[in-house]
Amino acid sequence: MNPRLRTVLTELRAVWMLLLVGIVLTVVSPVFLTSSNLLNVALATSVTALLASGQTFVIILGEIDLSVGAVLGFSAIITALVLRSQPTVVGLLVGLAIGAGCGLVNGLLVTRTRMPSFIATLATMSILGGLALQLSQGNPVAVTDYDFQNIGQARAAGVPVPVWLMIVVFVVSGLLLARTRFGRYVYATGDNGEAAKLSGIPVHRVKIWAFVLSGLLAALAGFIVTARLSTAEPTAGTGLELEAIAAVIIGGTSLAGGRGNLIGTIVGAFILGVVDNGMNLLNVSPFLQDVVKGGVILFAVLLDRNATAFRALFSRRRPPAPTAEPASPQDDLVRG
């Protein structure tokens, strides 16, 4: 069996989780396994998936980007405003530029001022969120540009454009992370920043690029949301950052940095998407949906932390000493 595939199946327990949820839903809901519904799921997941892809790079670096939701909303508003007077392509370019710019600022804050990314991006999140409201005066900004709307509403070969975008981003960034020198730098820097520096890796530049990528993808996700609604909403991205981070972690990427992959992230995003979809199909009480979702996240991560975790949970004895596996970042947020 192809070793790559084997790794995915053995190491990536998130896949099992996805299958599990999928099977359950297929059994209890006739609609779930219809192509149209699955396309819905993919469509609904695309935004989270884009945000999570960028977030994966940042998190493997041992950083975090809480601002993606705000960047999404901010660049969406600006794009919409630009589109009022400018051709589609200009709007797109400006939007992407804004996203990249926000990422650049985050990257500079984290590298040059050595702020913890958690607080730096928390601050930019608040700032960009406010600016989006200020620019739009709190009002949604309508987008009438037909070509732009197609980004969210058209289909190619029966598949919605956002899904195609998700696929492209997945493949490209997947290769970037797994197969290029930049990707190796990302892992190395996240695994041991000091060593990376001493090995001559341009640690700061690597981090800055990762944040820029995260910002770019947030802007792209903003296009999708805006195009689907034909409107840019200043608050469109609120809360999406946590969704994206959850997807990344469910996918097995470690917050301690140095380990993770993009396949896991996509799977994680789909787990969340499928659960949402399922709960709606089954008309689960809206109040309980958060409960279910939280439960699924817990369960998925437990599963990823492999069976021992379960035993540990119910057994007296503490889990195997971390020494057994080197730098096991599961232990805690920080030192692993």
Partner 1 sequence: MRLHVNGVVKRFGDNTVLDGVDLEVGAGEVVALVGENGAGKSTLTRVISGAYRPDGGGLAIDGDPVSFRHPDDAMAHGIQVIYQEFRQNLFPNLSVAENLFVREEGRRFGKTLVAKAKMAEETTKLLSGMGMHIDPRAKVGRLRVAEQQLVEIAKAMTHRLKLLILDEPTAALDGQESEELFRQVRRLRADGVAIVYITHRLDEVFALADRVVVLRDGIVALSGRTTELEAPGLVAAMVGRTVDNLFPKQGNGREEIALSVRGLGRAGVFTGIDFDVHAGEILGLGGVLGSGRGDVLRALFGLDRVDAGTVTAAGKPALARSPAAAIRAGIAYLTPDRQAEGLCVGRPVRENLTLAALAGYTGPLGFVRRRKEKQAVAELVEQLHVRAASTEVVVSTLSGGNQQKALFGKWLLTEPTVLLLEEPTRGVDVGAKAEIYRLMNELTARGVAIVLVSSDLPELVEMSDRVLVLRQGRIAAHLHGGEVTQEAVLHHALEAAS
Partner 2 sequence: SRPSNAASTPTATNNKSATLIMSTLNNPFFVSVKNGAQAEATRKGIKLDIQNANNSDATALNLATTAITNKPGILIVDPVGSQSGTAEVSAANQAGVPVMAFDRQPAGGNLTTFVGYDATQAGKNAADGLAKALGGKGTIVEIQGILGTNVAQDRSQGFRAEMTKYPQITTVATQSANFDRATALDVMTNILQAHPDINGVYAANDEMAMGVLAALKARNLAGTVKLVGNDGISDALAAINDGQMYATNAESAYALGEQVIDRAADVLAGKQVARNTVLQGELVTKDGVEAYAQHLISIGDAADVPAGLKS
Cα 277 to Cα 302: distance, rounded to the nearest angstrom: 22
Q: Which of 9, 28, 195, 282 binds partner 1 (CB under 8 A)?
A: 195
Q: Does residue 122 contact residue 224 with C-beta atoms inside 8 Å? A: no
Residues in 161-200 that interact with its own copies by CB under 8 A = 190, 192-194, 197
Residue 277's CB: how many other CB atoms inside 10 A? 23
Q: Which of 101, 230, 302, 305 binds partner 2 (CB under 8 A)?
A: 230
Residue closer to its own copies (CB basis): 160 or 329: 329
DSSP for residue 321: P
Q: Does residue 143 contact residue 83 with C-beta atoms inside 8 Å? A: yes
The item of ligand ATP, partner 2, partner 1, none sharing an interface with residue 201, based on CB under 5 to 8 Å by kind, is: partner 1
The item of partner 1, partner 2, ligand ATP, none sharing an interface with residue 28, based on CB under 5 to 8 Å by kind, is: none
Residue 235's CB: how many other CB atoms inside 10 A? 16
Residues in 246-265 that interact with its own copies by CB under 8 A = 246, 249-250, 254-257
Residue 130 interacts with its own copies (CB under 8 A): yes or no: yes
Residue closer to ligand ATP (CB basis): 5 or 324: 324
- Residue indicated by tokens 């739009």: 136
Residues in 297-316 that interact with partner 2 by CB under 8 A = none
Residue closer to its own copies (CB basis): 88 or 330: 330
The item of partner 2, ligand ATP, its own copies, none sharing an interface with residue 87, based on CB under 5 to 8 Å by kind, is: none
Cα 130 to Cα 110: distance, rounded to the nearest angstrom: 21
13, 39, 42, 37: which is closest to 25 by C-alpha? 37
On the 0-12 / 13-18 / 19+ scale of CB atoms within 10 A, 291 is exposed
Question: Using CB under 8 A as the criterion, what x/- string covers residues 206-225 for binding its own copies?
Answer: -x------------------
Q: Which of 259, 263, 264, 277 binds partner 1 (CB under 8 A)?
A: 259
Residues in 71-130 that interact with partner 1 by CB under 8 A = none
Q: Which of 200, 286, 287, 314 binds partner 1 (CB under 8 A)?
A: 200
- Residue indicated by tokens 């804004």: 98
Residue 321 interacts with ligand ATP (CB under 6 A): yes or no: no
Cα 248 to Cα 58: distance, rounded to the nearest angstrom: 10
203, 182, 192: which is closest to 112 by C-alpha? 203
The least CB distance from residue 85 to ligand ATP, in Å, is 56
Cα 238 to Cα 182: distance, rounded to the nearest angstrom: 30
Residues in 197-226 that interact with ligand ATP by CB under 6 A = none
